[in-house]
Structure 1
Amino acid sequence: MTVHRVADADGVEWTYDDHKTIGDPGGMGSVFEGAGRDGTPVAVKRVRLPYPGVSAERRRDREVQISELLLHTKQSGNETSHLVVPLSFQFVDEDLYIVMPKGDESLGHALRTRPFDLPSGVQVVRQIALGLEQLAAGSIVHRDLKPDNVLRFGSTWKITDFGLSKNLSEGPVTVSLAAWGTEAYTAPELWRNEPALPRSDLYALGVLACEVFTGARPFPGPSGEYRRQHLQDPPPDLRELPPRLARLTLRLLAKNPAERPQDARAVVEAIDAYARGLRRDQEALVDAALDLERARANGRAGEAAATDRAAQAEALRLEAISELGDVLANAHDDVHEALPDARIDRAAHEILIAGLRIAFETSEPLRLSAVADPGGSVLTGVVRLVPPHGPAQLGEVFAHLAYLPGSDGRRRWTYTGPDATDTDRRTLDDGAVLTIVRTALAAAAHVRKVGRA
């Protein structure tokens, strides 16, 4: 047992045992069991910089800022009943310590150990929505809402862990999925690196609500599948749920943020309306609206899949063009050393020698096939020898290009000879560029020799 002490500027002191951790360590922080001087249990989060650098320091400083904002919100008399507000925070050397009330259990632990009946589950979701409403009132977006970041204090559920949160009064912010957030709860717009907004938290609430109500997440993964599932797959139809709860959950899981509830308050109001009950004719209206919501969810999923495929195709096209520019740039020194008068136009993908243009075409014709599987897509182009002042499309083809994945899964440019049916595909590297250029120049010289004869 190793007991450590932390104290704030007012002399209030807490202790913690760094052998008694709570939950799993985060990317930059670990949480330990602790106590105040009177024995009151607390949780002490220690945030250490995993590596030196501006981004890590900025993330730590943002956690300080959010802690200050939450403390100010509570001290100003604003509602924070469903948020775990820090008791104190302070630095010890380079480490940040945040002292927080200690909950009885996390929602993640509860879901792993027992199912919720529907009335209990409804209250859990309602209280989390109240927490999101309180965050939004303080212009805070959480960005990592998940069951392990929801704690129970007696019968009250509260949102905690604001390490990834952002003060929206400073403007929107994008999210780096490589380091932040939890894939199973990440909204579609964040997978597209669009700004994180309160409706992104509502999407995470939809995933969480589905988990609380049914015992399963709507998109089960595994890790390599989450992006496609969140962006493209329709959510389950939730026929086991009462129609109004099913419709609310589907709206929270809408691919388009604009089609989710307006805010967390609207979610609370919808749950409260569900609790009050409806007449039979009103229930029939809800049934009809739910059928429409299911149809829309399936339709939107199809549209989202098409949009995502198009975005991936465009990203692949830009990647291929950039890679071809790199190949030509790598060949530049060899070509220029042998032929000092040669010039390589990397932007146009052309080599200019003795009045001739050897054009590596990637604009037209540029074709994308197998779009449904970008990893197996093939981008094709040609290499032409273009006479001075002649139109490029009439130049003689000296090689056929293809940008496609190799046996190691990495995409690279390859080429064959002038025969389009040639299957002897070779890697297009700087040596291959020299070979193609030499062949093109020899052909041009032959044409001129024949012409003089």
Structure 2
Amino acid sequence: MQWEFDSARPLGRGGFGRVYEARGPIGDAAAKVVPKARGGDREQLVVSGLPASRNIVPVQHVEETDDSWVLFMPRAEYSLRDRMAQPVPTAEAVKILQDIAQALSEVSSIVVHRDLKPENILFINGSWALCDFGIARYVEATTAPDTLKDSMTPYYAAPEQWLFERATPATDVYAFGVIAYELLSGQRPFTGARDEIREGHLAGVPPLLTGSRKLAWLVNECLLKAPEARPSAANLTGRLAAVGSDVSSPAARALGEAQSALLLERAAAEAAAAAARTEAQRRAGLFAAANAGYEAIVADLVEFVCDGAPDTQVAHPNGTTVLSLGGAELRIARLEAVSPSAGDYDVVAASSVTVVTRGASRGHSLFYADFDELRHFGWFEMGFMQGMGADFAHEPRALSGPDGLQVLTSRTIGGGQLGWGMRPLDPGSLEDFIQRWAQWLGMAAQGKFPRMSTLPDGRTVYPRSRGW
């Protein structure tokens, strides 16, 4: 009998293709049809290099069509997801985990699965076996263009996957920990919307499992945020074999409780450190984006002014760009990072633009922040007034990032208020911004200081706030 499959009888789908009922020379089978697309031949290549094992679903036969690969495999009785539809006794759960751990230990030196989950663990011939290496990656393949770092199942994805970092065998150990937690407690450690799941994996610490202390400790270690802190796949098998030897004497219970408290404390400290690293990485990425936009703003403004007035002198003292024309100066300050603070807004970076002539000045602040929409960042321009202590020779003026943020939060700083703005800035469409500041510099160079025409001036709409 030849290998064949029935496309009208689907069994499910994997990382890259659909699975159908199939038949072969040795009886019932399953056929996974993988389209020939980016990374589409990955599973054939990976599985062909894996060891023969009762805990790894083998590829028995491969065929090729014009647009697909067809991988024939043994047909499973059911998946771990199917089994988990009913409560699983601890003894059976340990046996399942032992089979999974054995498979991971056998492949960890060859490949990283990267999508380990109950749907990809099948019961075949009396054992639990790993399948679907559709997004697996050879351990040393760090530069392949199709590494598919964004392919993951959120509930089981390790912190490094959420950060789009290189996956290692420890990534599979983390997913093993999530599966173990769900198998033993009946619930996943982190749930909710995608952002909540991400936050849990990056900085959350689930409660320690009840029951066997050694098993709870092992799962706790698998879920540590730092990959290097997790046990190895080989270490899992030996420790799972010992989970039934918990001692019930008073001394052992006291020591076990102390150990549990230390493990939770360690996990919390490690999660806090991971959260700090993650936040620092997030802000570093946002600042890089802000700087790229800011460089475009500065370059376009300088080019326009110098084209319109070739006698303009350009200098860069201490990172500030200074355009000098006829006794007036246009000062574009260096971009500065703003430290995170509590409140309604997240300001990542700040700078200012100021025109100065004959003892008078007009300045506006530039902020890279989420003023209009939570966690949606862009550039904004605004000017401030000093309220009761107004100095009309220098109004409106720019304020530093923290001071400007305080005005926006409380609407006051020494009587200060928003005097001009706020106006979004699009680095790709700066005509209004460039024309306005070039005109003000030209006026200042002629002794015509560009004071505010009204009080207040410009668009004086405060940004969104929870309380307003």
Q: TM-score, normalised by structure 2?
A: 0.78
Deviation at 1:179, TM superposition (A): 4.0
**Structure 2 counterparts to residues 298-317 of structure 1, below 5 A:** 298-317=268-287
With over 3 angstroms needed to count, the CA separation of the structure-2 counterparts of 1:69 and 1:353, relative to structure 1, is farther
Alignment of 1:272 onto 2:241: yes
**Structure 2 counterparts to residues 119-138 of structure 1, below 5 A:** 119-137=91-109
Is the Cα contact below 8 Å between 2:43 and 2:132 reproduced in 1? no
Match of 1:361 in 2: 333
**Structure 2 counterparts to residues 62-77 of structure 1, below 5 A:** 62-70=42-50, 73-74=51-52
Deviation at 1:282, TM superposition (A): 4.6
Match of 1:89 in 2: 62
Equivalent residue for 1:19, pick from 8, 33, 38: 8
Alignment of 1:148 onto 2:126: no
With over 3 angstroms needed to count, the CA separation of the structure-2 counterparts of 1:123 and 1:385, relative to structure 1, is same
In structure 1, distance between residues paired with 2:117 and 2:221: 18
Deviation at 1:442, TM superposition (A): 2.4
Match of 1:404 in 2: 369
In structure 2, distance between residues paired with 1:343 and 1:207: 62
Match of 1:428 in 2: 425
**Structure 2 counterparts to residues 287-306 of structure 1, below 5 A:** 287-306=257-276
Is the Cα contact below 8 Å between 1:402 and 1:415 reproduced in 2? yes
Is the Cα contact below 8 Å between 1:231 and 1:255 reproduced in 2? yes
Post-superposition CA distance 1:352-408 (Å, at most 9, x none): 4649764433434x42443788x7435322113589xxxxxx995621112222545
In structure 1, distance between residues paired with 2:217 and 2:33: 41
Match of 1:391 in 2: none
Match of 1:35 in 2: 23
**Structure 2 counterparts to residues 121-200 of structure 1, below 5 A:** 121-137=93-109, 139-171=110-142, 179-200=150-171
In structure 1, distance between residues paired with 2:331 and 2:146: 39
Aligned residues: 409
SS of structure 2 residue aligned to 1:164: coil
Query: Comparing both structures, which one devotes a greater share of its residues to helix?
Result: 1
Deviation at 1:411, TM superposition (A): 2.0
Post-superposition CA distance 1:278-307 (Å, at most 9, x none): 473455433322211011111222222222
With over 3 angstroms needed to count, the CA separation of the structure-2 counterparts of 1:351 and 1:195, relative to structure 1, is same
In structure 1, distance between residues paired with 2:239 and 2:271: 24
With over 3 angstroms needed to count, the CA separation of the structure-2 counterparts of 1:344 and 1:433, relative to structure 1, is farther
With over 3 angstroms needed to count, the CA separation of the structure-2 counterparts of 1:444 and 1:229, relative to structure 1, is farther
In structure 1, distance between residues paired with 2:187 and 2:59: 31
With over 3 angstroms needed to count, the CA separation of the structure-2 counterparts of 1:97 and 1:24, relative to structure 1, is closer
SS of structure 2 residue aligned to 1:32: strand
In structure 2, distance between residues paired with 1:149 and 1:395: 70
What amino acid is aligned across from residue 379 of structure 2 in structure 1? W
SS of structure 2 residue aligned to 1:151: strand
Is the Cα contact below 8 Å between 2:149 and 2:161 reproduced in 1? no
Is the Cα contact below 8 Å between 1:142 and 1:165 reproduced in 2? yes
Alignment root-mean-square deviation, CA: 3.3
Match of 2:31 in 1: 44
Among all aligned residue pairs of Structure 1 and Structure 2, give the percentage whose two residues are the same amino acid.
28
What amino acid is aligned across from residue 244 of structure 2 in structure 1? A
Alignment of 1:60 onto 2:40: yes
With over 3 angstroms needed to count, the CA separation of the structure-2 counterparts of 1:343 and 1:162, relative to structure 1, is farther
Equivalent residue for 2:89, pick from 98, 108, 117: 117
With over 3 angstroms needed to count, the CA separation of the structure-2 counterparts of 1:195 and 1:444, relative to structure 1, is same
Deviation at 1:197, TM superposition (A): 0.5
Q: TM-score, normalised by structure 1?
A: 0.80
In structure 1, distance between residues paired with 2:149 and 2:281: 19
Is the Cα contact below 8 Å between 2:202 and 2:274 reproduced in 1? yes
In structure 2, distance between residues paired with 1:274 and 1:384: 69
Gaps of 5+ in 1: 1-11, 50-55, 75-79, 388-393, 449-453
SS of structure 2 residue aligned to 1:405: strand
What amino acid is aligned across from residue 75 of structure 2 in structure 1? K
In structure 1, distance between residues paired with 2:136 and 2:197: 22
In structure 2, distance between residues paired with 1:343 and 1:18: 73
What amino acid is aligned across from residue 364 of structure 2 in structure 1? A
Match of 2:466 in 1: none
In structure 1, distance between residues paired with 2:183 and 2:194: 21
What amino acid is aligned across from residue 108 of structure 1 in structure 2? R
SS of structure 1 residue aligned to 2:263: helix
In structure 2, distance between residues paired with 1:84 and 1:345: 68
Match of 1:105 in 2: 78
With over 3 angstroms needed to count, the CA separation of the structure-2 counterparts of 1:223 and 1:344, relative to structure 1, is farther
In structure 2, distance between residues paired with 1:396 and 1:176: 54
With over 3 angstroms needed to count, the CA separation of the structure-2 counterparts of 1:329 and 1:149, relative to structure 1, is farther
With over 3 angstroms needed to count, the CA separation of the structure-2 counterparts of 1:399 and 1:210, relative to structure 1, is same
Gaps of 5+ in 2: 384-395, 400-416, 450-468
With over 3 angstroms needed to count, the CA separation of the structure-2 counterparts of 1:304 and 1:42, relative to structure 1, is same
Post-superposition CA distance 1:245-266 (Å, at most 9, x none): 11111000001112211x1121
Match of 1:7 in 2: none
Match of 2:180 in 1: 209
In structure 2, distance between residues paired with 1:115 and 1:343: 77
What amino acid is aligned across from residue 440 of structure 2 in structure 1? T
With over 3 angstroms needed to count, the CA separation of the structure-2 counterparts of 1:182 and 1:325, relative to structure 1, is same
Deviation at 1:201, TM superposition (A): 0.5
Is the Cα contact below 8 Å between 1:150 and 1:159 reproduced in 2? yes
